[in-house]
Structure 1
Amino acid sequence: MDLDKIEKLNELKEKGMISDEEYQRAKAKALGSASASDVVGDVDNRSYSMLMHLAQLCGFVIPMCGLVVPLIMWVVKKDDAYINEQGKVVFNWVISSFIYFVICIVLAIFIIGIFLVIALGIVSIVFIIMGAIRAKDGTIQNYPMSIPFFTVDPGAVEKAEALEKKD
């Protein structure tokens, strides 16, 4: 832990020479708790992404709402690299779970599909909560069992930031 470095970072932040996001990243790196490549996206984007993941749960209350609400949230802030990648993660799961649901309905003819629908519902809730926690932590990662319809690039945020710094 480098206290001198943290004090200098705090001075730079107070003078307005670095943003709060840059301060948090540098502080985390100095404390050794996380590297800059492990945690991405600012706090507001992470909260928004977490809500985008949790919005899928609306579909358990109002049909199709679990598709429409995250889609609107993604389209509204798609220009942000972090939210765009999280939107891809969400919709990889939305499309995958729909396909799994259709398969379960077909298998309901043989009774086993009924149990698979229940299992899919439980797994969906667990994966959505896991995805929301990861989004809040700044991690970009597909849900387990998710079919990659959209290519998710965990390094997309760093690439976008590097391009912004060049300009």
Structure 2
Amino acid sequence: MSSGNQERTWAMFCHLGGFCGYFIPLGNIIVPLVLWLIKREEYPFVNEHGKEALNFNISMLIYAIVSAVLAFVLVGFLLIGILFIFHIVVIIKATMAANKGDYYSYPLTIRFL
């Protein structure tokens, strides 16, 4: 595998790591964080995608907590459903962009890093 292919593959894994949160508590933050920390110095492309994936997943965690609180007034149930679908769709879009070698900027993301 060439360096460019490896770089794109690691960037894809940073985005796909967001799905780990459905199986492991906080996995959507831990997996992209670990991948980013391991490969950010080696691959600038992974550095950018890793930061983007981390920012997005931290933002989604905040939105999910707010939605859970709003579930007490019934509005949050709808928001949680919308967030779930949104999360899946944009992670797939970001993964496809990384696979093509393009940069992707997630919508509705708070920039922490």
Give the TM-score of the pair, scaled to structure 2: 0.90
1:73 positional shift: 0.6
Counterparts of 1:47-86 in structure 2 under 5 Å? 47-79=9-41, 80-86=43-49
- Partner residue of 1:139? 102
> 1:137 deviation in Å?
1.0
| Residues 18 and 32 in structure 2, CA contact (< 8 A), matched pair in contact too | yes
List aligned pairs for 1:5-154, cutoff 5 A. 42-79=4-41, 80-150=43-113
In the alignment, the residues of structure 2 paired with residue 83 and residue 57 of structure 1 have an alpha-carbon distance, to the nearest angstrom, of: 18
Contact 2:97 2:103 in 1 (8 A): yes
How many Å separate the matches in 1 of 2:87 and 2:51? 16
Choose between structure 1 and 2 for higher RCO, CA contacts under 8 A separated by at least 6 residues. Answer: 2
Q: Partners of 1:45 and 1:56 in 2: how far apart?
A: 18
Q: Which amino acid aligns with 1:123?
A: F
Deviations 1:27-75 (A, max 9, x none): xxxxxxxxxxxxxxx1110011111111110111222122111111110
Q: Which has the larger radius of gyration?
A: 1
Specify the code of the residue in structure 2 equivalent to 1:117: I
Deviations 1:80-129 (A, max 9, x none): 21111011110110111011112101211110101111111111011111
Q: Quick one: percent identity of the two aligned structures? A: 35
Deviating runs (4+, > 3 A) in structure 1? Answer: none
Query: Residues 92 and 142 of structure 1 are in contact (CA less than 8 Å); yes or no, is this contact kept in structure 2?
Result: no
Contact 2:29 2:58 in 1 (8 A): no
Unaligned runs of 5+ in 2: none
Find the aligned partners of 2:62 and 2:32 in 1 and give their Cα distance. Answer: 18
**Aligned-pair RMSD on alpha carbons?**
1.4
5+ residue gaps, structure 1:
1-19, 22-41, 151-167
Q: Are the counterparts in 1 of residues 55 and 111 from structure 2 also a CA contact under 8 Å?
A: yes
